[in-house]
Amino acid sequence: MISAASKALSQQGQTYHTDVLVIGAGLAGLHYCFQLLEHAPQTKITLVNKTSFGECNSQYAQGGIATALAPEDSIDSHIQDTLKAGDGLCFKDSVDALIQQAPRAIEELEAYNFRFDQHEDKSNYVLGQEGGHSHRRILHSGDKTGFTMLSALLHQLQQTDGITCLEHHIAINLITQYHPHQTHHQGEVLGAYLLDNQSQLIHTYLAKTVILATGGAGKTFRYTSNSMVATGDGVAMAYRAGARVGNMEFYQFHPTLLYHPKHQHFLISEAVRGEGGILKNADTLAPFMQNYAPEAKDLATRDVVARAIFNEMEASDSPYVLLDITHQPKAFLEKRFPNIYNTLQSLGIDMSQDLIPVVPAAHYQCGGVLSTAHGETDLERLYAIGEVAFTGLHGANRLASNSLLESVVMASNAAKHSMQYLNKPIRPRQAIPAWNSPNEINVRRASQINAHWRSLRGEMMSYAGIIRTEAGLHDLLSLILKRKQIIEDYYWTHAISMDFIELRNIILNAELIVRAAFRRKESRGGHFRDDYKHKAPHAEESIARLNAPEIPFFS
């Protein structure tokens, strides 16, 4: 405990060299490591996670992974459903490339001794149904697919040599050098500065290639299904280093987060609606999705369902709507949704008899760091994989259960593609300095500035959430820029902590989301403008680059 208002703190650490620096230890980061070692077993990998291993968005994925396996289904049908959900903004080449690799992704996952649910005779997988899919094609492991999958990969990690694991380390910034005459890449990434959260030392890690697998930024919003580590670190670092980001306005809101004070981040899987769950108005108990999506009803795409719920909440002045699955037998619910059933039971809700209060929540970042299907970004030696990446797979709205698929396929692709740098040592044009920041930490001031987080998340939910307006976005941007200046002033004049690094990243993500939402004067996918309710005639992705004359050597 620091009792004084200020305390001197030296943060300069050591310099380390590694072949590959992987930032983020969720599904994408772990799978990348194993795939790379399979092709290049002598590679030295440093794997970084800012909390304990296992805490990431991947472990909270309930529904499963989408793959066309049923006899009546096809890869082309999966592609068409993905394009339809993306509402005109998918990159067709990326969709084709990533969806076609789905069968191979399943094989790679099962190589970790992970098994998807199968019928009792073991003849076929049990396939779930989710919104936006024209067929049952969701492979799952109960209703804890992400947790079970991640557990298998973490077990594999314990048995794997060649990976240096750094828990409780957070990346602060990428180390870059600028290419003044190169046209293909904006610059080159040489490593990153990492804060050891326990010693508070900031180390310099130099690497032949850096992999961003940092996930999304759900903590930018008040209501989120995300882990509390989802603070948009990868997007913020890449953007500050000069990489382009895109489609930041398309933040997908999952329609059904449990509304309960004891479980503020617990998701009620879309698979519950896939098994017949019906959304009802909290006041009248009347089903309402037929009023918004007469054909798909409760299995419409997430953007449609989330807006419908938002409208019903406004109309009834209720903070939630209700999800009814009571027509299914208790035995079926216990078997199909054991985690959801038991969690609700512990809160006094019997889903076989009681209606479940739910609310929309920030769930998935459809945009991110602009990258190819194999993770290559604008910056040489820098890759982005999984949710942090913007490949164009999701367009304006992600199709349910395409996220785990994207993580696995991109990780595998990036492992092969990034091997080109293993025999190309980095060549800095000048000495890379150790971290050198002011060594004074003002505990009271840092606490005051961190309080901005609470206000920001509520404002983002109100002004830049499910329904947006120009006036609201203008007001919000003004507030964000004022807060950003306060945060930046402290950052450049004081020693920093993990909380402060996350806050700095969150405020930048918020700015990028709001600026993109302000520029898109139409309603499309996960972006709805109450003052521009219709789609523009020509859909265009929104891509932005840091407005700087050149990228500094280090930032």
Per-residue pLDDT tens, the chain, 555 aa: give them.
233 344 555 688 899 999 999 999 999 999 999 999 999 999 999 999 999 887 877 877 777 899 999 999 999 999 999 999 999 999 999 999 999 999 999 999 999 988 898 987 666 899 988 888 999 999 999 878 888 999 999 999 999 988 999 999 999 999 999 866 655 567 899 999 999 999 989 999 999 999 999 999 999 998 898 888 999 999 999 999 999 999 999 999 989 999 998 887 888 988 899 899 999 999 999 999 999 999 989 988 888 899 999 999 988 989 999 999 999 999 999 999 998 999 999 999 999 999 999 999 999 999 999 999 999 999 999 999 999 999 999 999 999 899 999 999 999 999 999 999 999 999 988 889 888 777 777 788 888 888 888 899 999 999 999 999 999 999 999 999 999 999 999 888 888 889 999 999 999 999 999 999 999 999 999 999 999 999 998 878 788 765 443 344 443
Q: CA 83 from chain center: how many Å?
A: 20
Cα separation values, 305 from 66, 90, 283, Å: 20, 20, 18
CB proximity list for 18: less than 8 A, separation 6 or greater: 44, 45, 46, 164, 205, 206, 207
The DSSP symbol for 519 reads: H
The set of residues, in sequence order, having a beta carbon less than 8 Å from that of 234 and lying 6+ positions away, is 23, 24, 212, 213, 214, 215, 368, 369, 384, 388
Cβ count within 10 A of residue 421 = 18
What is the torsional sign of CA 355, 360, 362, 368?
positive
DSSP string, 396-442: TSPPTT-HHHHHHHHHHHHHHHHGGGTTS----SSPPPPP----EEE
CATH tag, 16-250+366-421: 3.50.50.60
User: What is this structure's pTM?
Assistant: 0.91
β-pairing verdict for 6-8 and 440-442: antiparallel
CB 298 within 8 Å of CB 277 = yes
Q: Which residues contact 263 (CB under 8 A, 6 or more apart)?
A: 343, 347
pLDDT at 156 (0 to 100): 94
Q: Decide if 302 is catalytic.
A: yes
Please give the Cα distance from 64 to 140 (Å, whole number): 4
Among residues 505, 269, 477, which one has the least CA distance to residue 388?
A: 505
Catalytic pick among 302, 398, 468, 529:
302
Domains of the chain, residue spans: 16-250+366-421, 255-362, 440-536
DSSP letter for 133, please: -
CATH fold, domain 255-362, is: Flavocytochrome C3; Chain A, domain 1 (3.90.700)
If phi over 0 gives left and psi between -120 and 50 gives alpha, with beta otherwise, what is residue 395? left
Give CA separation, 358 vs 216, 258, 304, 337, in Å.
22, 5, 16, 16
Residue 160 burial (10 A CB sphere; 0-12, 13-18, 19+): middle
Q: How far is CA 468 from CA 119, 252, 366, 504, 523, in A?
A: 45, 14, 17, 24, 9
Class in CATH terms, 440-536: mainly alpha
**Alpha-carbon 67 to chain mean position:** 20
> Which amino acid, residue 81?
D
φ/ψ of residue 21, rounded to 5: -110, 115
How far is C-alpha 9 from the chain's CA centre?
A: 33
Spatial neighbors of 32 by CB under 8 A, at least 6 apart, are: 22, 211, 213, 385, 411, 412, 414, 415
